[in-house]
C-alpha cells in the first residue's frame, strides 16, 4: 500500500466476540478517515437500513488517516462515525471527531481504524497492544466517570508502568487476532516488521463513554484524555448500547512515509504560517487582537476559562502533531485540554452572585472562572456532550422563566430552579441527566425529543426559544447571515463545525472592529485559495443577494467537499484547516491550497492535486448522502425551522457586496426567504449531481464517482435520483 | 581536522568525582571497555577509578524549557523521520513523556527527555566495541556507529537517565542515540553542533535550543532552562484593554 497506511483495519464484533481484520487497501480510494468509515459502514449494513442508533447492528468506526501519527500540522483527529442517536428526527449516519493521542497510538499499534459492531452481553472494553487485541471485562470500570475509567484502564494495560520510563512489550504477549495470517509486507518499511524487544515511553490512549453513555443518553459523548470530546451524534450512548466502555490503544510501531525528505521539506516550509511564539507583539499583527488572535492562531486560545487576570499558570497544550496548541493545561488541573464549548457549556455563577450569568458566555461572561472550570470538567467526566448540553441547559432555564418547568408546573421537577446557575444546580442537573433520574430521564433524550415529549417542539422551534437549526443540533453561527454555515449543516446531518471555512477568517477578523484586510481584499484573497472554484470572490459575498447566488452554491459545495476529504479523510482539525488566509505571512496568503497535496503526496507517495482531493470529497459526500437517503432523507426534510424566516437576525459582521462595492456589514434585521431557500436547494442539488425533485443522487453521478453498487441499492429501494 | 582539534582543546572538560556524584556518571579512560554499574539508582554508584580522566566535551547540547512545551511531540516524529524516514516515537532519540492519561497538573504533566550529550558519557564508556564513541571530527558529539554496534544494549543499560536516552531499534536490533542530526539521511540541513537539528527546527513552541557550552550536569536542572521570550519593552500597552495571552503572561510555578 501507499505510505501513511498500516494496511489493516481492526474489526470487533461484540455479539460474537470475534476479532478480525479488514484490508485497508480495498478502501484506499476513499483516502482514509471519514471516507473509509462511510464506505465500511455502507458495505457492512447499508442494505439493512433503516434501523436505529441503539440497534446492535449499528456500526461504529473510529478511523485514522494517512496523516495520523505523522506530524502533518494539526492532523491529530480521530474520526468517529455511525448512526447518531442525538440527531433528529432520524438518527442519521453521523460523524464526530476528537483530538489528542488516540489516532496516533492506533496507527503505531498497526491499525488504520477500528470497526465495532454487535453488542456485548456484559460490559467490556477493547484492549489493543500492537497486534494483540483482546476483549476485556469492564467489571470494576463500568460506572466510572471518564477520567477514572481511563486511568484504571491504563493501569490494567501497563500494570507496572512507571511514568517516565520505557515499557517493554515482549513477544510472549503478542497474539495475532483471529483471521490474521501475518503482518503484511509493507515494501520493506520497518514500521511493521515483526519486532522483538519493543519499547515505548508512551502510555495507552483510551477513548471511553461516561455514565451518560452507559445509560444510553442521547447526550452521551466519547471522551479521551481530560478534555477531548467526540461531542456530536451521541456516540457515547452507542458505546453504552453495546456494553462497550472503552477502547484502549498503544503501539510500538510507526507510520511509513513515502517520501520522508519531501515531508521534512514541507514541514519546514510550513513554519512560515505559524504563530511566532517569540514575538511578544505577535498578537498586534491581528488588528484589534482579542478574540481573533485567540481563535486564529494564538497558542492556548481555545480555553476561554483562563482569560481572566490573575491567570492560572498554564501551558499551551496540543493534540499530537499540532503546532498550534489551542488548549491549555493548568497548574490547578482544571479544564485541561478542553477547548471552546468544552470550556463554555457550563457557566457557573459565583456563590455570592444573584441570578445566573449569561449561559454559554464562559469566563468572559461574568461566571466564576474556577467554578466554571470545575463544572465543565464534571460535564466531561460524566460523558455529557458539551454541544448538546449547552442548548439544553439554556432551554431548561427558559422553560423555568416562562413558568413551564418547576415544582408543580407543566414539566414537574424537583430541580433546584431557584438556584439556577449555581454549582449545586449544575451538579444536580448533570447527574440526573447522566443517570436518567427523574426529569433527567426526559432531558437525556436531548433537546428535540425532550421538547417533543412535552408538545413544545414545533412552537419553540418556530418562535426561536429552541434554536435547533439543523438536525437537533444547536444554531452555531447565524444562518441568516453566515448562510454557508447553515446550508453546510442542512445538507449534512448535524452542525457543520468547520470553523476555518470562512467563519474564523472572515467573521472573527471583522468582529475585531479593525480587520487587517478590507472586505474587497479578503474576498479576493480568500477565494483565490478555493480551488477549483477560485477566482470568484462572490463566493464569500454575504449580502442578501449574495447568500442565494450561484457563487454561494459553489462555496457550500466547496465546504462540503473539503469537509469530507481534506478534513474528514485527512484527519485535519476544523479549527486549523483550511487556511486560506493568514496574518503570519507578508502577503496574507495561507498554506491552502498548496499545503494539502504537498503533505498528502509526501506521506502517501501519490501525486494528487488539491482539486482531485475535492473530487474525492464530492464522492464521499455523495456516499454519505446516499446513506441518509436509505434512512429516509428527502429534500422536503432539508428545511430550516421557522424562526430563521420569522425572527430578525441580530447580525453577524461579514464581507458583503452591495451597491457595487465591498464592505463589512452585519446583516442585522435579516430573515431568510423561503422561496429563495428552496431555489437555492434546487441549484445546489443540480450542482452536485442530485435530482432536484427529491435530493437523491442520480445513477450517473454515483457511477462517475465509482459508486455503482450504491446506485444499485438506491434503485432497489426506488430512491435513485 | 585542525579546527576540530582546536575545538576539542577548547571544550575539553575535566571530569572530577564531584561530577560523578551529582549524577553525570562515572568517568574512566576514553575507549576503556570496563563496565561500570549504571547510575539507575543515582545515589548508589560505585567509586570511580582513581585519578582524573577527561573527555572532550561536546560542542553542542540540546536544552529545553519543559514549561513551554505544547506536548505535540513533533520533535519526536521529526527525529525519527530525519533519521529513519518514518514517524515512529519508539525510534525517536528524544522522548517526550506525557502523563497517564493526562490528569496531572502543569508543569509536571510533561517531561522532555533529549539526550544530554553527557560530559561523562557512560554509553561511550561501556560500549564493548567502540560503536558508541566521541566523534572528534564533528564537535565531539557522542554517537553510535551502527556498523560496529552488536546490539548488546550496554549503552542502554548504563545510561544514567530515566528514561534512557540511548534508544533500542528493534528492527535493526541495534542501539542508536542523538547525534545532533550529524547522520540524518532524510534531513536536508547540515546537522551537528554548528548545524541545525530536526527537533529544534520543528518545535513550534521554541522549547528546544542548541547551546554550545555544557549545561550543569546535575539532574535535570541544567538542561531544563528558561527559553521564554523576553517580556515586552517598557511602555504603555500597545492596545490597552485587550486580554493577555495566557502562555506569555502566566507566571511560572
- CB contacts of A70 in chain B (<8 Å) are 77, 81, 87
Average pLDDT of chain A, as a whole number:
91
Cβ within 8 Å of residue A591, ≥6 positions away: A270, A273, A579, A582
Least confident of A33-42, A414-423, A611-620: A414-423
Per the DSSP assignment, residues forming a β-bridge with A208 are A223, A246
Measured distance CA(B131)–CA(B147) in Å, rounded: 7
pLDDT for position A276: 87
pLDDT digits (tens, 9 = 90+) for A454-503: 999 999 999 989 999 999 999 999 999 999 999 999 999 999 999 888 88
Which residue in A458, A461, A503, A505 sits closest to A485, CA to CA?
A503
Average pLDDT over residues A78-104: 98
Furthest-apart CA atoms within chain B: distance in Å: 65
Q: Scanning the structure block, which residue is given the C-alpha cell 466531561?
A: A380
Minimum-distance CB partner of B89 among A200, A260, A284: A200
* Interior/surface letters B183-199, b for 16+ CB within 10 angstroms, e for the rest: bbebbeeebbbebbbbb
Which helix (H) or strand (E) segment holds residue A169: the answer is strand A167-169
pLDDT digits (tens, 9 = 90+) for A377-415: 999 999 999 999 999 999 999 999 999 999 999 999 999
pLDDT confidence bin for B206, thresholds 50/70/90: very high
Which residue in A432, A487, A478 sits closest to A676, CA to CA?
A487
Smallest CA–CA distance, residue A90 to chain B, in Å, is 36
Which residue in B12, B184, B189 sits closest to B94, CA to CA?
B184
pLDDT for position A183: 35
Which residue in A511, A497, A510 sits closest to A562, CA to CA?
A497
Measured distance CA(B98)–CA(B96) in Å, rounded: 7
Alpha helices of A139-228 — where are they, by DSSP H?
Answer: 146-157, 211-214
pLDDT for position B44: 33
DSSP state of A489: H
Average pLDDT over residues A329-358: 82
- CB contacts of A147 in chain B (<8 Å) are 103
CA A3 to the chain's CA centroid: 25
| Whether residue B19 has pLDDT greater than 90 | no
Q: Scanning the structure block, which residue is given the C-alpha cell 488516540?
A: A102
Contact state of A314 with B106 under an 8 Å Cβ cutoff: yes
| Whether residue B26 has pLDDT greater than 50 | no
Per the DSSP assignment, residues forming a β-bridge with B144 are B132
Question: Which range has highest mean pLDDT (A150-159, A531-540, B28-37, B161-170)?
Answer: A531-540
Contact state of A277 with B229 under an 8 Å Cβ cutoff: yes
Q: Scanning the structure block, which residue is given the C-alpha cell 448533570?
A: A430
Average pLDDT over residues A167-186: 44
How far CA A252 is from CA of A27, A107, A145, A202, B238, in Å, comes to 25, 9, 28, 9, 49
DSSP state of A608: -
Which residue in A185, A221, A296, A195 sits closest to A576, CA to CA?
A296
Minimum-distance CB partner of A311 among B105, B187, B250: B250
pLDDT for position B54: 76
How far CA A292 is from CA of A35, A272, A285, A510, in Å, comes to 32, 19, 11, 9
- CB contacts of B69 in chain A (<8 Å) are 315
pLDDT for position A286: 67
Question: Which range has highest mean pLDDT (A195-199, B13-17, B58-62)?
Answer: B58-62
Minimum-distance CB partner of B244 among A275, A309, A312: A309
Measured distance CA(A614)–CA(A560) in Å, rounded: 9
Cβ within 8 Å of residue A640, ≥6 positions away: A469, A470, A479, A486, A490, A672, A677
Cβ neighbours around B5 below 10 Å, total: 12
Per the DSSP assignment, residues forming a β-bridge with B209 are B63
Cβ within 8 Å of residue A315, ≥6 positions away: A300, A328, A329, B67, B68, B69, B70, B71, B106, B107, B109, B110, B247
pLDDT digits (tens, 9 = 90+) for A13-24: 999 999 999 999
Please give the full DSSP string across A52-81, using - where no structure is assigned: -TTSTT--EEEE--TTTTS--TT--PEEEE
Least confident of A235-244, A286-295, A570-579, B192-201: A286-295
Smallest CA–CA distance, residue B226 to chain A, in Å, is 13
pLDDT digits (tens, 9 = 90+) for B1-11: 333 333 344 44
| Whether residue B204 has pLDDT greater than 70 | yes
- Greater pLDDT, A604 or A583: A604
- A-chain residue closest to B110, CA distance: A164
* Backbone torsions φ then ψ of A148, nearest 5 degrees: -65, -40
Contact state of A199 with B170 under an 8 Å Cβ cutoff: yes
- CB contacts of B170 in chain A (<8 Å) are 193, 195-199, 252
pLDDT for position B220: 65
Asked if residues A112 and A36 have their Cβ atoms less than 8 Å apart, the reply is: yes
A179: left (phi over 0), alpha (psi -120 to 50) or beta: left
Which helix (H) or strand (E) segment holds residue A136: the answer is strand A132-137
pLDDT confidence bin for A324, thresholds 50/70/90: very high
pLDDT digits (tens, 9 = 90+) for A510-520: 887 778 899 99
Average pLDDT over residues B100-111: 79
Average pLDDT over residues B53-70: 92
pLDDT digits (tens, 9 = 90+) for B132-152: 999 999 999 999 999 999 999
pLDDT digits (tens, 9 = 90+) for A492-503: 999 999 988 888
CA A439 to the chain's CA centroid: 29
Contact state of B231 with A319 under an 8 Å Cβ cutoff: no
Minimum-distance CB partner of A254 among B73, B87, B164: B87
Burial class (CB in 10 A: 0-12, 13-18, 19+), B18: exposed
Mutation to test the A interface, candidates B75, B89, B96, most A Cβ within 10 Å: B89
pLDDT for position B22: 27
- A-chain residue closest to B228, CA distance: A278
Q: Which three cell numbers stand for residue A460?
A: 419553540
Average pLDDT over residues A188-210: 70
3-state SS record for A327-353: EEEECCCCCCCCCHHHHCCCCCCCCCC
Asked if residues A28 and A2 have their Cβ atoms less than 8 Å apart, the reply is: yes
pLDDT for position A246: 98
- CB contacts of A284 in chain B (<8 Å) are 238-239
Measured distance CA(A104)–CA(A149) in Å, rounded: 20
- A-chain residue closest to B243, CA distance: A290
Contact state of A316 with B70 under an 8 Å Cβ cutoff: yes
* Interior/surface letters B28-56, b for 16+ CB within 10 angstroms, e for the rest: beeeeeeebebbeebeebeebeeeebebb
Q: Scanning the structure block, which residue is given the C-alpha cell 453577524?
A: A652
pLDDT confidence bin for A635, thresholds 50/70/90: very high
| Whether residue A587 has pLDDT greater than 70 | yes
- CB contacts of A325 in chain B (<8 Å) are 70-72, 204-205
pLDDT digits (tens, 9 = 90+) for A643-666: 999 999 999 999 999 999 999 999
pLDDT for position B17: 27
Q: Which three cell numbers stand for residue A513?
A: 472592529
Mutation to test the A interface, candidates B69, B79, B85, B91, most A Cβ within 10 Å: B85
**How many Cα neighbours within 13 Å face the side chain of A511?**
15
Average pLDDT over residues B195-204: 98
Burial class (CB in 10 A: 0-12, 13-18, 19+), B4: middle
**How many Cα neighbours within 13 Å face the side chain of A70?**
33
- CB contacts of B249 in chain A (<8 Å) are 311
Measured distance CA(A495)–CA(A488) in Å, rounded: 8
Strands A411-412 and A405-406: parallel
pLDDT confidence bin for A282, thresholds 50/70/90: confident
Q: How far apart are the first and last CA of chain B?
A: 46
Give the A:B interface size as CB pairs under 8 Å.
249
pLDDT confidence bin for B59, thresholds 50/70/90: very high
Which residue in B89, B192, B207 sits closest to B141, CA to CA?
B192
Average pLDDT over residues B223-231: 89
Amino acid at each position: 500500500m501507499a505510505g501513511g497506511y498500516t494496511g489493516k483495519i481492526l474489526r470487533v464484533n461484540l455479539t460474537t466476540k470475534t476479532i478480525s481484520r479488514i484490508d485497508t487497501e480495498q478502501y484506499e480510494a476513499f483516502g482514509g478517515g471519514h471516507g473509509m468509515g462511510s464506505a465500511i459502514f455502507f458495505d457492512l449494513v447499508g442494505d439493512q437500513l433503516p434501523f436505529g442508533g441503539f440497534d446492535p447492528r449499528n456500526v461504529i468506526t473510529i478511523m485514522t488517516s494517512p496523516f495520523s501519527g505523522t506530524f502533518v500540522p494539526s492532523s491529530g483527529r480521530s474520526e468517529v462515525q455511525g448512526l447518531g442517536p442525538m440527531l433528529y428526527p432520524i438518527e442519521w449516519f453521523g460523524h464526530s471527531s476528537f483530538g489528542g493521542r488516540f489516532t496516533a497510538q492506533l496507527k503505531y499499534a498497526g491499525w488504520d481504524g477500528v470497526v465495532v459492531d454487535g453488542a456485548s452481553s456484559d460490559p467490556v472494553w477493547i484492549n489493543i497492544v500492537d497486534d494483540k487485541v483482546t476483549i476485556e471485562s469492564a467489571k470494576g470500570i463500568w460506572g466510572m466517570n471518564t477520567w477514572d475509567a481511563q486511568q484504571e484502564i491504563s493501569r490494567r494495560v501497563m500494570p507496572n508502568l512507571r511514568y517516565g520510563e520505557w515499557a517493554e512489550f515482549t513477544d510472549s504477549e503478542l497474539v495475532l487476532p483471529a483471521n490474521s495470517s501475518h503482518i503484511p509486507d509493507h515494501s520493506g518499511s520497518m514500521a511493521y516488521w515483526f519486532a522483538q524487544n519493543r519499547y515505548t515511553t508512551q502510555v495507552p490512549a483510551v477513548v471511553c463513554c461516561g455514565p451518560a453513555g452507559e445509560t444510553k443518553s442521547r447526550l452521551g459523548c466519547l471522551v479521551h484524555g481530560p478534555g477531548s470530546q467526540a461531542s456530536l451524534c451521541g456516540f457515547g450512548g452507542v458505546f453504552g448500547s453495546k456494553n462497550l466502555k472503552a477502547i484502549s490503544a498503544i503501539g510500538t510501531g510507526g507510520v511509513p512515509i513515502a517520501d520522508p525528505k519531501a515531508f521534512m521539506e514541507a514541514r519546514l516550509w510550513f513554519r512560515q504560517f505559524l504563530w511566532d511564539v517569540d514575538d511578544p507583539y505577535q498578537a498586534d499583527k491581528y488588528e484589534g487582537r482579542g478574540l481573533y488572535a485567540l481563535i486564529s492562531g494564538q497558542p492556548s486560545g481555545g480555553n476561554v476559562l483562563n482569560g481572566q487576570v490573575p491567570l492560572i499558570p498554564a501551558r499551551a497544550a496540543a493534540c499530537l502533531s499540532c503546532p498550534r496548541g489551542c488548549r491549555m493545561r493548568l497548574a490547578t488541573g482544571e479544564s485541561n485540554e478542553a477547548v471552546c464549548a468544552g470550556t463554555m457549556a457550563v457557566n457557573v455563577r459565583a456563590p455570592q452572585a444573584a441570578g445566573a450569568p449569561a449561559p454559554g458566555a464562559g469566563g468572559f461572561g461574568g461566571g466564576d472562572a474556577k467554578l466554571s472550570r470545575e463544572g465543565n470538567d464534571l460535564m466531561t467526566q460524566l460523558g455529557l456532550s458539551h454541544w448538546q448540553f449547552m442548548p439544553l441547559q439554556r432551554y431548561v432555564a427558559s422553560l423555568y422563566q416562562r413558568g413551564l418547568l418547576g415544582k408543580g408546573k407543566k414539566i414537574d421537577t424537583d430541580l433546584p430552579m431557584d438556584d439556577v446557575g449555581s454549582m449545586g444546580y449544575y451538579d444536580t442537573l448533570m447527574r440526573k441527566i447522566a443517570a436518567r433520574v427523574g426529569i433527567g430521564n426526559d432531558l437525556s433524550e436531548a433537546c428535540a425529543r425532550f421538547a417533543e415529549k412535552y408538545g413544545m417542539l414545533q412552537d419553540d422551534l418556530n418562535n426561536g426559544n429552541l434554536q435547533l437549526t439543523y438536525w437537533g443540533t444547536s444554531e452555531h453561527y447565524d444562518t441568516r447571515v453566515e448562510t454557508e454555515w447553515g446550508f453546510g449543516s442542512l445538507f449534512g446531518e448535524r452542525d457543520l463545525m468547520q470553523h476555518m471555512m470562512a467563519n474564523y477568517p472572515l467573521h472573527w477578523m471583522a468582529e475585531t472592529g479593525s480587520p487587517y484586510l478590507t472586505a474587497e481584499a479578503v474576498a479576493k484573497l480568500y477565494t483565490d485559495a478555493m480551488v477549483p472554484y477560485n477566482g470568484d470572490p462572490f463566493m464569500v459575498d454575504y449580502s442578501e443577494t449574495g447568500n442565494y447566488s450561484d457563487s454561494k452554491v459553489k462555496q457550500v459545495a466547496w465546504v462540503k467537499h473539503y469537509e469530507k476529504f481534506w478534513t474528514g479523510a485527512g484527519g485535519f482539525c476544523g479549527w486549523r484547516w483550511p487556511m486560506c488566509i493568514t496574518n503570519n505571512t507578508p502577503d496574507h496568503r495561507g498554506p491552502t491550497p498548496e499545503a494539502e497535496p504537498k503533505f498528502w503526496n509526501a506521506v502517501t507517495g501519490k501525486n494528487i492535486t488539491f482539486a482531485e482531493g475535492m473530487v474525492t470529497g464530492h464522492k464521499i459526500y455523495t456516499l454519505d448522502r446516499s446513506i441518509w437517503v436509505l434512512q429516509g432523507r428527502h429534500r422536503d426534510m432539508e428545511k430550516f425551522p421557522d424562526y430563521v424566516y420569522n425572527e430578525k437576525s441580530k447580525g453577524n459582521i461579514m464581507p458583503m457586496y452591495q451597491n457595487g462595492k465591498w464592505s463589512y456589514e452585519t446583516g442585522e434585521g435579516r430573515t431568510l426567504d423561503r422561496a429563495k431557500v428552496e431555489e437555492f436547494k434546487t441549484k445546489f442539488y443540480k450542482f452536485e449531481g442530485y435530482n432536484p425533485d427529491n435530493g437523491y443522487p442520480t445513477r450517473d453521478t454515483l457511477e462517475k464517482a465509482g459508486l455503482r453498487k450504491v446506485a444499485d441499492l438506491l434503485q432497489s429501494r426506488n430512491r435513485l435520483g | 581536522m585542525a579546527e576540530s582539534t582546536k575545538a576539542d582543546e577548547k571544550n575539553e572538560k575535566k571530569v572530577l568525582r564531584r561530577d560523578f556524584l551529582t549524577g553525570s556518571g562515572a568517568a574512566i579512560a576514553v575507549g576503556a571497555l570496563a563496565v561500570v554499574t549504571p547510575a539507575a539508582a543515582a545515589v548508589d554508584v560505585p567509586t570511580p577509578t582513581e585519578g582524573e580522566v577527561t573527555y572532550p566535551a561536546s560542542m553542542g547540547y540540546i536544552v529545553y524549557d519543559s514549561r513551554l512545551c505544547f506536548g505535540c511531540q513533533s520533535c519526536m516524529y521529526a527525529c525519527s523521520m530525519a533519521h529513519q524516514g518514518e514517524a515512529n516515537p519508539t525510534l525517536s532519540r528524544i522522548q517526550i513523556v506525557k502523563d497517564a492519561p493526562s490528569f496531572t497538573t502543569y508543569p509536571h504533566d510533561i517531561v522532555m527527555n533529549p539526550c544530554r550529550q553527557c560530559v561523562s558519557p557512560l554509553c561511550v564508556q561501556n560500549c564493548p566495541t567502540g560503536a558508541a564513541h566521541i566523534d572528534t571530527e564533528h564537535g565531539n558529539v557522542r554517537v553510535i556507529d551502527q556498523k560496529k554496534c552488536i546490539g548488546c544494549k550496554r549503552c542502554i543499560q548504563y545510561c544514567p537517565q530515566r528514561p534512557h536516552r540511548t534508544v533500542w531499534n528493534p528492527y535493526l536490533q541495534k542501539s542508536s542515540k542523538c547525534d545532533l542530526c550529524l547522520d540524518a539521511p532524510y534531513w536536508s540541513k547540515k546537522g551537528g553542533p554548528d548545524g541545525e537539528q530536526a527537533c529544534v527546527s520543528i518545535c513550534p513552541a521554541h522549547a528546544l535550543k542548541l547551546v554550545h557550552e555544557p549545561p550543569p550536569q546535575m539532574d535535570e536542572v541544567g538542561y531544563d532552562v528558561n527559553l521564554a521570550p523576553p517580556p515586552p519593552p517598557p511602555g504603555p500597552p500597545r492596545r490597552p484593554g485587550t486580554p493577555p495571552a495566557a502562555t506569555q503572561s502566566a507566571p511560572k510555578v
